[in-house]
Amino acid sequence: MAVDPKLSHTAAMILQALNAGYIYGFSVMEMTGLPSGTVYPALRRLERDELIRSHWERQSIADAEQRPARKYYRLTAAGKSTLEVSRKRYPLLERFIPAEEARSV
Amino acid sequence: MTPLAEMLLGWLRRALVGGAALLVPAGMRADWVREWQAEIWHVERSGAGARATTAFCLGAVQDAWCLWQHARGNRPRPASLHGSAGQCLLAMATVLAAAGLIAYLLPEARSATSALSAPARTGLIRIEKAGGERGGATSIPFEQFEAWSRGRQRYFDEMAFYRMSREIVLEGDSPKGGWKIAYATSNLFTLLGVPVRLENDGAAANGGMPAVIISDSMWRRAFGCDPDVVGRILRVGRREARIAGVAADRSWRLPGHVDAWVLEPEAAMAAHASGNVVAHLTSAGRAELWAGSVHITAYEPDDRELDLIGFSIGEEPASPLDLYGFALFLAFLSLPAITTVSLGEYSSSPHRPHWPRRIARWLYLGAKIALLLSIVYYVSIDLAYWRPFGGPYAADYIQMSSAFALCLGGMRWVLLDQRQRCPVCLRRVAHPAQVGLASRTFLAWNGTELVCGGGHTLLHVPGLPTSWFSTQRWLYLDASWDFLFAGGPDAG
């Protein structure tokens, strides 16, 4: 991975959304307004670049709510530092998806 | 939205995700499908609507496509194989295998090539009455034939009788059309050297019906190449006959086109029927043969003298292998007209590769030519006997012309390829660079420079051949060039 990777605005938005607590693909879509064909490939790339990490929800939780288990994404330490750099580059990012809107899932 | 439209969109969504999953690398597929199914489930219940959900599923295709492209980009490429002699031979062997497989799968091609293993019998004559038109309808009564075959003959050791007739053929109640039928004694095919095995001396086992052998072209036309045709009963004229086999069209070497042969014992033949007699000559008979014919005097039952003439039956029509050989001969004859046959082995310096490498280069050329000639044979057979291109009569012309064109073009490619193979590693030289200016031809050379990917050689091809630089030259690179190539000359 590059020491200081330059993220596109879209990738930075997705990172910001994940950081704000929108931790699965569809919620990122809803928050950013990006289409599924952009969000999911971007999530794969960010995971490949080790900026985010994915994990499956526990099956018992999904079973209790009678729905399929979801795949969640979280920022890694490298992802957080990259997001910090991206915020300086795209100052409106934080205003667009404020951290206060973060929700727990 | 109607329930039907919703149901159709549901199918479309499943098809999109299922189809896209095929693009995802196998190791990631299960996880990928699980994630998308879960996401779709949640989207469906979010009240997004069927159209929005379907649009969401389109993202799965893009997602899978990106994963596929990434996996493709990361796939290790065998650099040592790329552009190498092995890659070229492998590609040719693959084409050969495909062409050979197609030839095996085409029934017409298989029957034409398998006829090679059954060479035609020699020393056969067709007996006609003297003075008649050669090959025309002849009239030797069957009782005459019987008398000859009963008696001991000095010049013949085996005889068969056949007569031609046009008959309406039916299978059950379904008409098969008017066929040209040859009614023949059961030994006709044995005499002609066509391997056909029959039971009960020509009468099929069931009910003593005559056996009928149908021609290859009629089998295709009337029975659609049905492999289970043997044993079926046909009504030929007023008689019933059981299909005993299929004979290749080219196995019939006697005049006239025949759609089927009805083989019956001599006892079943009408005594008054007139037809043709085919006989096999003894060594004494062959000695009497002059310019392909022999005059015979026979005696009728009432001791009247009968002048007959026996025409030697021509050898088997040219087999696919004969045609191929002739096309090859013509192609090799024409080759110098379309390319130089030089291999361009000239070196800019006295340096020459070691002899094992020179032998490898020659072996590679030999292997390429052998593979090419085999490919040409099978591809020409495929084209000739592929049904859309015409019947058996067009096959010879198609095979001949395609074999000629393929061999000529192929040999040109073989020589061009050989001229552009590094003499050291047999890898194709690449990265062409234009060197010099055409306007300075008399001051310095101009042309194209190509380099071996392994760093062994440079190939200089003159743009305008001159008296001092008329052909391509190889420049062997020494160790001082190594820094230009990753990992040195021996690197993959």
* ipTM of the shown complex: 0.89
Quick one: pLDDT at residue B409?
A: 95
Highest mean pLDDT among B114-123, B325-334, B345-354, B468-477: B325-334
Tell me the chain B residues in contact with residue A49 when contact means C-beta distances shorter than 8 Å.
Answer: none
Residue of A nearest to B58 (CA): A37
For B310, the token pair is: 């026996």
Which 3 state secondary structure label does DSSP give B166?
strand
Residue B200 has pLDDT above 70, yes or no: no
What's this model's pTM, rounded to 2 decimal places?
0.49
Mean pLDDT of A65-93: 88
Quick one: pLDDT at residue A3?
A: 46
User: pLDDT by residue (tens digit) across B125-181?
Assistant: 888 777 655 555 557 878 778 877 777 777 788 888 888 888 888 888 788 888 888
Quick one: pLDDT at residue B491?
A: 42
Which 3 state secondary structure label does DSSP give B333?
helix
Residue of A nearest to B38 (CA): A68
CB B191 within 8 A of CB B277: no
The single-letter DSSP state of residue B360 is: H
Quick one: pLDDT at residue B492?
A: 38
CB B403 within 8 A of CB B323: yes
The single-letter DSSP state of residue B306 is: E
Tell me the chain B residues in contact with residue A45 when contact means C-beta distances shorter than 8 Å.
Answer: 66
Radius of gyration of chain B (CA): 35
CB B375 within 8 A of CB B97: no
Interface membership of A12 toward B (CB under 8 Å): no
The single-letter DSSP state of residue B202 is: G
Quick one: pLDDT at residue B489?
A: 44
Quick one: pLDDT at residue A1?
A: 43
Residue of B nearest to A37 (CA): B59
Kindly determine whether residue B35 and residue A71, on different chains, have CB atoms separated by under 8 Å.
yes
**Distance in angstroms (rounded) separating the CA atoms of residues B20 and B386:** 37
For chain B, what percentages of helix, strand and coil (3-state, to nearest 5) are there? Answer: 45, 25, 35
CB B21 within 8 A of CB B33: yes
* Angle, vertex CA A32, rays to CA A79 and CA A71, nearest 5: 60
For B14, the token pair is: 């499943």
User: pLDDT by residue (tens digit) across B302-324?
Assistant: 777 777 778 877 655 667 888 89
Least-confidence region, from B14-18, B187-191, B458-462: B187-191
Give the H or E element holding residue B140. Answer: strand B140-141
Q: What is the mean pLDDT of chain B?
A: 80
CB B361 within 8 A of CB B420: no
Query: Which comes out higher in pLDDT, residue B82 or B396?
Result: B396
Mean pLDDT of B332-359: 81
Of A29, A36, A44, the CB nearest to B66: A44
Give me the phi and psi of B193, to 5 degrees please. 85, 20
Confidence band (pLDDT; 50, 70, 90) for B204?
Answer: very low
CB B460 within 8 A of CB B432: no
Kindly determine whether residue A38 and residue B43, on different chains, have CB atoms separated by under 8 Å.
no
Kindly determine whether residue A70 and residue B56, on different chains, have CB atoms separated by under 8 Å.
no
Mean pLDDT of B440-444: 75
Of B38, B58, B70, the CB nearest to A37: B58
Kindly determine whether residue A37 and residue B39, on different chains, have CB atoms separated by under 8 Å.
no
Query: Within 10 A of A53 (CB to CB), how many other CB atoms are there?
Result: 14
Quick one: pLDDT at residue B263?
A: 85
B388 Cβ contact list (under 8 Å, min separation 6): none
Of A29, A44, A48, the CB nearest to B63: A44
Residue B453 has pLDDT above 80, yes or no: no
Tell me the chain B residues in contact with residue A39 when contact means C-beta distances shorter than 8 Å.
Answer: 59
Of A24, A36, A71, the CB nearest to B59: A36
Query: Within 10 A of B292 (CB to CB), how many other CB atoms are there?
Result: 11
Give me the phi and psi of B187, to 5 degrees please. -95, 5
Interface membership of B44 toward A (CB under 8 Å): no
Mutate to test the interface with A, among B66, B68, B69, B74 (most CBs of A within 10 A): B66
Quick one: pLDDT at residue B176?
A: 80
Mean pLDDT of B417-430: 88
**Distance in angstroms (rounded) separating the CA atoms of residues A76 and A47:** 9
Interface membership of A74 toward B (CB under 8 Å): no
Kindly determine whether residue A68 and residue B43, on different chains, have CB atoms separated by under 8 Å.
no
Strand (E) positions, B274-414?
Answer: 274-281, 293-299, 305-312
Residue A52 has pLDDT above 90, yes or no: yes
* Angle, vertex CA B158, rays to CA B155 and CA B193, nearest 5: 120
Of B41, B55, B62, the CB nearest to A67: B41
Residue B487 has pLDDT above 60, yes or no: no
Measured in angstroms, the CA of A73 and the nearest CA of chain B are apart by 12
Quick one: pLDDT at residue B407?
A: 94
Residue A2 has pLDDT above 50, yes or no: no
